Structure 1
Amino acid sequence: MGDMSRKIDVTSVIAVSDDFVGVLRDEKDVNNLTQHLEQSKALQSQCDADYNDALGLLQDYQKRIDVSKKKSDEARSEAASDAEMDLLQQELEEEFQRELITNEISDLENQRASVAERREILRKLEQDEMRAQMKLSMYASVTNIIPNLHENSKISGYIVKRDRKVVEKFEFDPSEATAFDTCNNIWNMISL
C-alpha cells in the first residue's frame, strides 16, 4: 500500500466520529423512543387486560361464595348442626382460596414471562443500536465519509476533512449519474 507520510491520531478520529454519530443519531433516538413507548403502551394494555380478567374471576368467585352462603343458610334452616355448617363453609372458603391463589400464580407467571421477553427484546435493540453506532464510527474513521442514512431518494452525506477542520456536504441524484460516476466523484472529493 505504500508508506504513510502522515500519522492519524486515533483518539481524535474516534472522538470526531462519535460527535458526528451523536449528531446523526438524533432521529434514531426519537424512533427508538417511539418504539419503546409503543412497547410500553402494549405492556400497559396487556396488564390492564390481565387485571380485568382477574377482576372478572374475583367477581365470579364472589358470586359462588354468595351462592354457597345462601345454601349454607338454607341448610341451617333445615336444622343442620352448626358444626357441620361451619365445616362446610370452611371447606368452601379454603377451596376458593386455593383456586384464587392458583389463578393468581398462573397470571403472575404469564406476566413475568411477558416482561422477561420484552426485556430481552429491548436488550437486543440496544445491542443492535450500539453495533450500528460502532460500525458508522468505523466507516467514518476509515473513509472520512458520514452517509446520510435517512435520505432514500438520493446518495448524500458529509465528507470530514480533519486536517482543515471542514465538513462538506455532498449529494448525488442516482437518476442523473451512473453508480460508477457517483463513486468516482466521491473518491475525488475525498482525495482533495
Structure 2
Amino acid sequence: MADFAGKFNIEELLSYGDDLVALLNDQNDVQTLNQCLEHFKTLQSSCFDDFSNVQSSVQDYEKKIEACRQKTEEARTSTVSDDEIDILEKELGEELGKGNLLMEEIR
C-alpha cells in the first residue's frame, strides 16, 4: 500500500513537470510571465521609495517632537510658579511699605 502511494505521488509529480514544460514552451505565457516580473520589479521599487520617504518623514517628525519637548521643558523651568509670584509680591509690598515709612520719617 505504501508503494502505491509513493507511485501515485511520482505520477503526479511527472504530470506536474510535463504541465510546467508545456507552459514554458508556450511563448505567450513566457512573455506574460516576463511582463508580470517587470511589473513586480517596478512595484517593488516604488514601494521601497515610498517606504523610504515615509521613514524619513517619521524621523523628521520625531526630531520636531523632541525639539518641542525640549522647548516646553525649558519654558517650564524658566517660568516662575504662582506661589513664588505671590511671595515676591508680598515681599515687594513689604519693601514698599518700609520705603513709604522712611519717606514719612524724612518729612
Give 1:160 shift.
Answer: 5.2
The answer as to 2:24 corresponding to 1:101 is no
Residue identity (%): 7
Between Structure 1 and Structure 2, the one with more helix by share is: 2
Give the corresponding residue for 1:130: 76
Aligned counterparts of 1:190 and 1:144: Cα–Cα separation in 2? 12
Compare the two structures and name the one with the higher strand fraction: 1
User: What whole-Å deviation, never above 9, does each CA across 1:131-174 have from its counterpart, x for those lacking one?
Assistant: 12236863x345438xxxxxxxxxxxxx853x8xxxxxxxxxxx
Once residues 94 and 190 of structure 1 are traced to their aligned partners in structure 2, the CA distance between those partners, rounded to angstroms, is 85
User: Relative contact order, CA 8 A, sep 6+: which one is greater?
Assistant: 1
Equivalent position amino acid for 1:129 in 2: A
In structure 2, the residue matched to 1:189 is: 96
Q: In 2, Cα distance between the equivalents of 1:130 and 1:141?
A: 18
Uncovered stretches (5+) of structure 2, i.e. residues with no partner: 1-25, 100-107
Matched, 1:92 2:25: no
Distance 1:93 1:144, change over 3 A: same
CA contact (8 A) 1:144 1:190 kept: no
Q: Secondary structure at the match of 1:134?
A: coil
Q: CA deviation at 1:102?
A: 0.7
* Length-normalised TM-score, structure 1: 0.33
Larger Rg: 2
CA distance in 2, matches of 1:116, 1:190: 53
Normalization by structure 2: what TM-score? 0.55
Aligned-pair RMSD on alpha carbons?
Answer: 3.0
Q: Residues 9-158 of structure 1 correspond to what in structure 2 (within 5 A)?
A: 81-134=27-80, 138=84, 140-144=85-89
Task: Return closer, same or farther for 1:105/1:119 CA change in 2, 3 Å cut-off.
Answer: same
Q: Counterpart amino acid of 1:189?
A: L
